[in-house]
Amino acid sequence: MLRFNLVNLLILTIFISPLIIGLLSYLMKARITSRLLLSEAGFLIANLFGLLLLGEHEITTALRFMGEVVTFSLQPKPVLLTISVLIVFAIQIWRLQSKKPLVGYFKFIILNIGISFGFLAFISGQFMIRYIALDVVGLMAALTVIDWGRGKQSFKDFVTIFLILRLGDLSLLVSILLINSFSGTLDITRMIDSVSRMPASSQAIAILGFLLAILIKIGGWPFGYWVHRARQSAKDAAFWLAGFLMPALGYYLLYRVIPIIMLRPAYQILVIIVGIIGLVNCIVVDGFGLVMFDRFKYVGVITGSILLCTTAMFGSQSIILFMVGLMIYRLLVYLNEEKRLAVPGFINLAFPLVFNGLFWIINPDVFSIRTAFLWILLTGLWIFGDWIISRRKGKKPIFGGESRMFELLPEESSDVLAKGAGWLNQHIEKGLSSLAFSGSLLVGTARWVNRNIEIGLFSTGISRLAGFFVKFARWNTEKIEKRLEEAWTWIGKELLSLSKGTLSIVEVEASQKTDELVGDALQSLESYEQKVLKKRMRWDLVWIPLLLIGILIFMLVI
């Protein structure tokens, strides 16, 4: 078990206290007010700061999971990320400024389980324990949308979110098990180190598995749909699990697999391409007014894409700080959308500029001309992408596969920068529209991407896929199962008729024949007996056995 010292005590406190608080609040029927949640968050943040001050620690426990030692790896960076996510939680609650109970007991317990296991996922040194923790947080994040009052609709949301997150978990499991099979360990650091020695095909599968898992967890393109669903169903405090904790865990997973991404330029390019596709998709789709989801979902996609590109370009250099910054940005957007914080429009636009500029200032060594150019391009795309989404302020997002063209009126823009950007956009769009070929191509592409990828494949696609499964399963029942059934019935019938035939020919007829034969034999015996009985007794023949007995005695004596 864990040896008792301050680090272990703090770890145990942070892991167990949310569970205890959740349980006690239910048992004592406490009101789940913002004060309670803020106190809890404050307590956890204080403990985490304590851990941060204690520095790096590798803790080997006496616990074993399926034969592997359970370890914890305490590093300042993940602790910092955990603190930032909890601060986001605290700010989110603080801005609610509500004295009413925020969530019911069910969601409060879920929230606390999520916090405990989220912490476990951050500090676990063993991949399978991290996987379990991520899976549990995923389940909790999906459960936050359950609303008993909404019945089946909320359950449908739950199923959608849970299935998407589970797909991410399974793809993560593919990577973990593949590497584990090669390295023979579940220790994260040693596993990551061993990837360089794996065959290229296995490496590729592992990186694809990780990438899929990361994209799903951070709500990146094209999997941001689940965040949107969670946002619609889970309100306020409960949404923190899906909107902030889960993406933060995805960020951290990305941080851990950076050495794998940096193994080959091909992997870096792959990650950058995935990031840019997500970014461009947001801009193209939104630029042509085919927006369906809330801004937070798109910001999730944009920040996720930026993070992927940054990671693939610069590796682990200051990346945790970058992640913390992205969390703050997400929070600003969320609070703005929820009308809990009036964020001036220019801040949204200035933030990427300042933020990316700071990153450059902090890490000047990692920039080459090529990366600097790409960095400026990414910053521009970020600003542009967020700007065109934020123009829809006050308009309700459209959902359900509808498309909508927004009229881009300069009056809608609330500040100079936005006005300027609006003007630019209007003119660029006009310019683009005037070019019949490229305009129609772009619009067509955007629509195609929107209809087929965004809506078709990853939003309604999920339900269509489920529908397909059901249809396929029904077809299977009709065509295969039933025919197999018929085949078996046919075999059964044939077997029965064969048995009947066999019974008739081999058993019944043979038995009758035997009966007849036995009867005949008995009859002939009887008639023979009768004949013998009619004859006179020949006493002279008695000498034969007597003589034989005499010979026998003689032989025995001799």
By beta-carbon proximity to another protein, the closer residue of 177 and 262 is 177
Q: Does 321 participate in binding another protein (rule CB under 8 A)?
A: no
Q: Does 473 participate in binding another protein (rule CB under 8 A)?
A: yes
Sequence-ordered list of residues with C-beta below 8 angstroms from that of 414, at least 6 positions apart, any chain: 344, 345, 393
Q: What is the CA radius of gyration of the chain?
A: 38
The one among 29, 62, 97, 148 contacting another protein by CB under 8 A: 148
Q: Does 151 participate in binding another protein (rule CB under 8 A)?
A: yes
Binding mask 358-397 for another protein (x = CB under 8 A): ----------------------------------------
Of 160, 93, 119, 95, the residue nearest 245 (C-alpha): 119
Binding mask 66-105 for another protein (x = CB under 8 A): xx--------------------------------------
The one among 17, 75, 80, 166 contacting another protein by CB under 8 A: 166
Please choose, out of 105-113, 352-360, 403-411, 481-489, the segment that lies near another protein by the rule CB under 8 A.
481-489
For 372, other C-beta atoms within 10 Å of its C-beta total 13
Q: Does 1 participate in binding another protein (rule CB under 8 A)?
A: no
Q: In angstroms, how far is CA 386 from the centroid of its own chain?
A: 27
Helix (H) or strand (E) holding 58, with range, is: strand 57-65
Q: Does 347 participate in binding another protein (rule CB under 8 A)?
A: no
Please tell me the distance from the alpha carbon of residue 551 to that of residue 549, in angstroms, as a whole number: 5
Map residue 371 onto helix, strand or coil.
helix
By beta-carbon proximity to another protein, the closer residue of 77 and 107 is 107
Q: Does 474 participate in binding another protein (rule CB under 8 A)?
A: yes
Q: Does 344 participate in binding another protein (rule CB under 8 A)?
A: no
By beta-carbon proximity to another protein, the closer residue of 213 and 302 is 213
Q: In angstroms, how far is CA 109 from the centroid of its own chain?
A: 22
DSSP-assigned states of every residue in 234-292:
S-HHHHHIIIIIHHHHHHHHHHHTHHHHTT-HHHHHHHHHHHHHHHHHHHHHHHTT---
Q: In angstroms, how far is CA 99 from the centroid of its own chain?
A: 35
By beta-carbon proximity to another protein, the closer residue of 91 and 142 is 142
Helical residues (DSSP H) of 288-364, grouped into ranges: 295-314, 319-337, 345-362
Q: How far is the CB of 426 from another protein (least distance, A)?
A: 45
Number of residues counted as binding another protein (CB under 8 A): 45
Map residue 70 onto helix, strand or coil.
strand
**Residues forming the site for another protein (CB under 8 A):** 64, 66-67, 128, 131-132, 135-136, 139, 148, 151-152, 155-156, 158-159, 162-163, 166-167, 170-171, 173-174, 177-178, 180-181, 201-202, 205, 466, 469-470, 472-474, 476-477, 481, 484-485, 488, 492, 495
